[in-house]
């Protein structure tokens, strides 16, 4: 979420001016109360919501020109129909904030 906030503030993925960009974020987890003290984008009213959706909405409030798409899928072999070669090849950059070893190993391959 910190990276999403920073991307929004820096204009990465912004539609302003000549820029054409898009940020795609995915997280299948829901916000827990324990997330609130360390996640700048989340508010108490977000508890129970999908992290990817709440973070995307908050980042757009910071920068209305920020173009972001949120998903709620795990990145792995079970979602290769979503995150396929076409998806990966359409990206200019990949930034991860993974908190599990399986997903890190999958993306490293």
User: Which tokens belong to 8?
Assistant: 């929004």
pLDDT reported for residue 25: 95
Residue 103 above 90 pLDDT? no
Mean pLDDT of 75-92: 93
Given a contact cutoff of 8 angstroms between Cβ atoms, the answer to whether 62 and 8 are in contact is yes
User: If you search the block for the tokens 């997903």, which residue do you land on?
Assistant: 103
What tens digit of pLDDT does each residue of 3-17 get?
A: 999 999 999 988 776
pLDDT reported for residue 86: 95
What tens digit of pLDDT does each residue of 14-60 get?
A: 877 656 789 999 999 999 999 998 888 999 999 999 999 999 999 99
Give the span between the Cα atoms of 12 and 104, in whole angstroms.
24
Phi, psi at residue 76, to the nearest 5°?
180, -175
Quickly list DSSP for 33-91: GGGTTT-TT--GGGTTSBHHHHHHHHHHHH-TTB-EEEE----SGGGTTTS-HHHHHT-
């Amino acid at each position: 979420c910190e990276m999403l906030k920073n991307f929004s503030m820096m204009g990465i993925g912004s539609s302003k001016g000549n820029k054409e960009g898009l940020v795609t974020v995915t997280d299948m987890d829901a916000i827990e109360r324990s997330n609130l003290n360390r996640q700048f984008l989340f508010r108490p009213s977000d508890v129970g919501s999908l992290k990817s959706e709440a973070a995307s909405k908050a980042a757009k409030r910071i920068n209305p020109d920020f173009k972001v798409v949120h998903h709620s899928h795990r990145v792995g072999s079970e979602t290769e129909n979503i995150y396929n070669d076409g998806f990966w090849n359409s990206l200019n950059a990949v930034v991860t904030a993974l908190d599990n070893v399986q997903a890190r190993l999958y993306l490293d391959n």
